Structure 1
């Protein structure tokens, strides 16, 4: 086969230049499109709000010892309610008596 026939079958240098341009400018175009502030406000912010539930109040753990004790008591009552008051796994603050 002659060189001109191979060039015609392979597409030639014009095709290579076109492919190179696509390989280089496609990622740049995508980064430009997704980097503009309008895309962020239109696409990302609603998804972020739905995903992380930003409209609800954030949980703040108790900081004072009284608040911690109150919360622990609440957890104990929940646990007793779930276990049905059977006492299985219930914590007692009493020390066992030594005989």
Structure 2
């Protein structure tokens, strides 16, 4: 059908595309410039993450109360800012 030249071209393309992608996206400077800023937007900072999971019921209730209080405070601040 296509002949040996087509097969050589397809084989070269199959090898070139992944290698070119690894060279381009595997560059540490590209990672620092493009991935890390987006990661900071997508995921919360480590200070906001809960490092220990509460195991007993009272600790879970305390954590939920803390989260709800933070949410209410943010909502109140946002409402106050909108009224200004």
Instruction: Give the TM-score taking structure 1 as reference length.
Output: 0.46
3-state SS, counterpart of residue 47 of structure 2:
coil
Q: Are 2:32 and 1:37 equivalent residues in the alignment? A: no
Q: Are 2:11 and 1:20 equivalent residues in the alignment? A: yes
- Counterparts of 1:30 and 1:53, CA distance in 2: 29
Richer in helix (by share): 2
Unpaired runs of 5+ in structure 1?
1-9, 63-67, 79-99
- Give 2:38's match in structure 1, choosing from 35, 47, 55: 47
C-alpha RMSD over aligned residues: 3.0
In structure 2, the residue matched to 1:58 is 48
- Counterparts of 2:40 and 2:31, CA distance in 1: 12
Instruction: Give the TM-score taking structure 2 as reference length.
Output: 0.53
- Counterparts of 2:51 and 2:5, CA distance in 1: 65
